[in-house]
Amino acid sequence: MLADFRSQLISIIEQSLNDYNPKEKYPTVDLEIPTDKQHGDFSCNIALKLAKSFRKPPVELASVLCGVIQKRIKVNRLNNKISNVEVKKPGFINFFLAAEAHYSILYQVFQEGEHYGCSHFGQGRKIQIEFVSANPTGPLSVAHARQAAVGDALTNILNGIGFDVKKEFYVNDEGNQINILGQSIQYRALEILGEAIEFPQEGYQGEYIKDIAKEFIDDHRIRNVSQLKAHPFSIFARYGVDYLLAVIKQELKDFGVHFDIWSHQSKIATPQAIKDVLAFLGEKGFLYEKDGALWFKSTDFGDDKDRVVEKSDGSYTYFTPDIVYHKNKFGRGFEKVINIWGPDHHGYIPRLRAAVEALGKDREALEILIVQLATIYREGKPISMSTRRGQYISLQEVIEEVGVDAARFFFLMRHIDAHLDFDLELAKKQTPENPVYYIQYAHARICSVIEKAQEAHLEPQQSGLTLLKQEEEVDLIKKIGLFPATLMVCYKQLDPFALVSYLQEIATYFHKFYDQHRVVDTDDLNLSKERLALIDATRIAIANGLRLLGVSVPKRM
RNA sequence: GCCCCCGUAGCUCAACGGAUAGAGCACUAGCCUCCGGAGCUAGUGGUACAGGUUCGAUUCCUGUCGGGGGUACCA
């Protein structure tokens, strides 16, 4: 509804400019929503932009335009929706919506219910988003956890505004790290059976490897070392991958993250597929030989240096199957492909972009989001992260300690490109300092009040509102109206953070209203019903927002 | 060396290029005969530095200084 007014106003301003001087060519009209409510519901800077070319002081030009605009508003019969248009200091033209326009925000909320905020903006365009994609060599870390929270929430938001997003987990089930995994399990198995050998230095030292080794022995009914040695090496690796992938899937499930597609490197980057891709790049002249290796001219596409695709020993680098994988992604008809990576991969961006361009795709078709690390704090001290020393804290432990809601919310509490401090003690607290509880509490409180009202046979009034005029009421209504725009900000930034911030604000506005005004009041039934409408709409906006973030929406706490 | 992210209140962080830079925490002082006090109100306090673009810069550009990460024929 707010969006409708906005576009209506923009077109009115455009018409007015044409009324003022039809011969002039004008820049696109911006209409922003001011942060300070004294500046109205919408604010236009067109006079400031045009002042120079019209050789008039901005305020003077704004006044003239303001007059033209007001005429236009009358001609277009919008004067019942717009209460005032005024010119302010440097040359802004500010628009104030009439109460009737505010009420129509609430009508829209009731009409759309759990779809409030959603739109068809994306027009069903297909997007693939790949995230987590952790190597199946250990349990998920908090870095993966943040990526999972971001990827999942972003997907919900993009789907909500009309895109068709598929979530994909790419399983790196081949390569060195998998060999090392197999080796580690084999060593631990030998150890269990009594053959003490020195554990390989690069091996995975976590306790979970011992568990896998034990299960391997049991599964294959192995009784002694010679029986174990009869098993070919590749079996250990495969066993480990299957085992750990099951662990990862369970951890993600516990975290409430579901993937649409699980793809495997071994199935996509087959030897033939790799050969085909290299042949394609070779024909285009993007490959050359040097020092016995085959190189990709990524510098042609802006990379710092060229990259090896086939090593001098004939094997491929990690990069090569990844080119195949990205060719595969686009081959499946996705208009846009989003990769969510940790900061350790950022140096990898230019070469992958280069590869995608070499494959003939647009630069914009590939979006790579780097989600910065989260540092977990306990009692004000950071918990250091080291997989090798087994000192790290896993996703599982975080969930067990603070719960899924707090974990997911906390991982989204900062812009994705900012480092995140995750305070376990704070996340655990069920007090107002904890932002998740603050928001959930607002929702539960509303539910409780509505229930109370029903006992007095009072229901929210969903049409013909006229009485909500108090400052706190109007502020809250406007905030509710900003929910759809907030989702658009998330889309533009490809970051769910704006929604997190919005929910904290709307909760604050609600609590402020609630503290000042009584909702259920049998002495004033009409006002009660309208206030019930206001808080019910608030409830819907909060619930929809929390749901998109993957955080539960409790009616009681 | 080169590349990326970040420098905003004592701390953690906000601010489509907009108007008087906002929250939370902490600290101080208040508010429950009443719908959930898990709440609300008030006070304190800030854009690392130097240029540039702009009517207007926390935001964009250049440089300096500081913090973090990356820079493999590893994955």
Q: Which nucleotide is nearest to A416 (CA to C1')?
A: B5
Q: Which long-range contacts (CB under 8 A, 24 or more apart) does A419-424 make?
A: A419/A372, A419/A373, A419/A374, A419/A375, A420/A146, A420/A372, A420/A373, A420/A374, A420/A375, A421/A374, A421/A375, A421/A377, A422/A142, A422/A374, A422/A375, A422/A376, A422/A377, A422/A398, A423/A377, A423/A380, A424/A376, A424/A377, A424/A378, A424/A398
A132: number of Cβ within 10 Å? 27
Distance B63 C1' – A369 CA (angstroms): 28
R_g of chain A, CA atoms, integer Å? 29
Distance A445 CA to B35 C1' (A): 9
Contacts of A545 (CB under 8 A, 6+ apart): A117, A483, A486, A499, A502, A503, A506
Least confident piece of the model among A348-352, A361-365, A456-460: A361-365
**Where does residue A199 rank: exposed (0-12), middle (13-18), buried (19+ CB within 10 A)?**
middle
Amino acid A115 CA to nucleotide B17 C1' distance, rounded Å: 33
| C-alpha to C-alpha distance for A292 and A311, rounded to whole angstroms | 8
Q: Is it the case that residue A380 has pLDDT exceeding 90?
A: no
Give the residue with minimal CA–C1' separation from B40. Answer: A515
Q: Is the CB atom of residue A449 positioned under 7 angstroms from any atom of strand B?
A: yes
Average pLDDT, chain A: 91
Separation of alpha carbons A215 and A386, rounded Å? 25
Across chain A, how many H-helices and E-strands are there?
21, 15
Which residue is nearest to the C1' sugar atom of B36, using CA? Answer: A445
CA to C1' distance (Å), from A505 to B22: 11
Query: Domain locations in chain A?
Result: 2-97, 176-247, 383-428, 432-549
Q: What are the backbone angles phi and psi of residue A205, rounded to the nearest 5°?
A: -95, -5
Mean pLDDT, range A140-148, rounded to an integer: 90
Contact, A54 CB vs strand B, < 7 Å: no
A56 in contact with nucleic chain B (CB within 7 A): no
Q: Is the CB of A34 under 7 A from strand B?
A: yes
Nearest nucleotide (C1') to alpha carbon of A535: B35
Asked whether residue A518's C-beta has any atom of DNA/RNA strand B within 7 A, the reply is yes
Q: For residues A26 and A68, give the distance between their C-alpha atoms in angstroms, rounded to a whole number.
A: 16
Strand partners, A296: A287, A307
Measured distance CA(A403)–CA(A65) in Å, rounded? 56
Cα-Cα-Cα-Cα dihedral sign, residues A323, A329, A333, A334: negative
Q: What is the pLDDT of residues A174-231, one digit of tens each?
A: 988 899 999 999 999 999 999 888 888 888 888 899 999 999 999 999 999 999 999 9
The answer to whether the C-beta of A428 is closer than 7 A to strand B is no
Structure tokens at A77: 């019969």
Q: Do A2-97 and A432-549 fold alike per CATH?
A: no
| Amino acid identity, position A211 | D
- In the predicted model, what is the mean pLDDT of residues A12-40? 89
Strand B at less than 7 A from CB of A417:
yes
Tokens of residue A22, six digits: 């039809």
Chain A residues 326-355 within 7 Å (CB) of strand B: 343-348
Supply the pTM of this predicted model: 0.94
**E-strand stretches of A326-451:** 336-341, 366-370, 374-378, 381-382, 420-423
pLDDT-based confidence at residue A390 (cuts at 50, 70, 90)? very low
Smallest Cα–Cα separation from A478: which of A98, A85, A115, A162? A98
Query: What is the band of A387 on the pLDDT scale with cuts at 50, 70, 90?
Result: very low
Nucleotide nearest to A88 in CA–C1' terms: B19
Lookup result for tokens 């505004």: A161
How many percent of chain A have pLDDT more than 90? 70
A414 touches strand B (CB under 7 A): yes
Tell me if A61 sits within 8 A of A68, measured CB to CB: no
Do the beta carbons of residue A419 and residue A409 sit within 8 Å?
A: no
Answer for A18: CB within 7 Å of strand B. Answer: no
CATH class of A432-549: mainly alpha
Look up the CATH architecture of domain A2-97.
Answer: 2-Layer Sandwich (3.30)
Both tokens assigned to A83: 């209460």
Is the ipTM, as predicted for this complex, more than 0.85?
Answer: yes
Residue A227: CB less than 7 A from any atom in strand B: no
Confidence category of residue A392, pLDDT binned at 50, 70, 90:
low
Give pLDDT, residue A75: 92
Give the residue from A240, A38, A30 showing the smallest Cα distance to A135.
A240
- Which of strand B's nucleotides are less than 7 A from any protein C-beta? 2-6, 12-16, 18-20, 23-26, 34-41, 54-55, 68-75
From the Cβ of A430, is strand B under 7 Å away?
yes
Compute the distance between CA of residue A550 and CA of residue A75 in angstroms, rounded to an integer: 46
Q: What are phi and psi of A389, to 5 degrees?
A: -80, -5
Q: Which residues of chain A between 252 and 281 are close to nucleic strand B, CB under 7 A?
A: none
